[in-house]
Amino acid sequence: MLLAVNIGNSNTRFGVFKSEEEIISWTINTKPYRTEDECYAKFKGMYGPFGFSKGDITQIVVGSVVPPMTHSVVNSLKRIHGIAPKVVDRNTPSGVKHKSKQMGTDLYANAVAAHELYPGKKIVIDFGTALTFTGIDENGQTLGVVIAPGIKTALKSLIGETAQLPEIELKAPEKVLGFDTESCMQSGMVYGFTSFVEGMIDRINKEVNDQCFVVATGGMSAVYAPLTDKIDKQDVLHTLKGLGFLAK
Annotated catalytic residues are: 106
CB-CB contact of 195 with 204 (8 Å): no
**Is-contact 20 44, C-beta < 8 A?**
no
Distance CA 185, CA 227 (A): 17
Please list, in sequence order, all residues whose beta carbon lies within 8 angstroms of the beta carbon of residue 120, skipping any fewer than 6 positions away.
138, 210, 212, 213
**What is the distance between the alpha carbons of residues 89 and 105, in angstroms, rounded to a whole number?**
5
232, containing H or E segment: none
**For the chain, counts of helices (H) and of strands (E):** 8, 10
Q: Are strands 122-127 and 86-88 parallel, antiparallel or unpaired?
A: unpaired
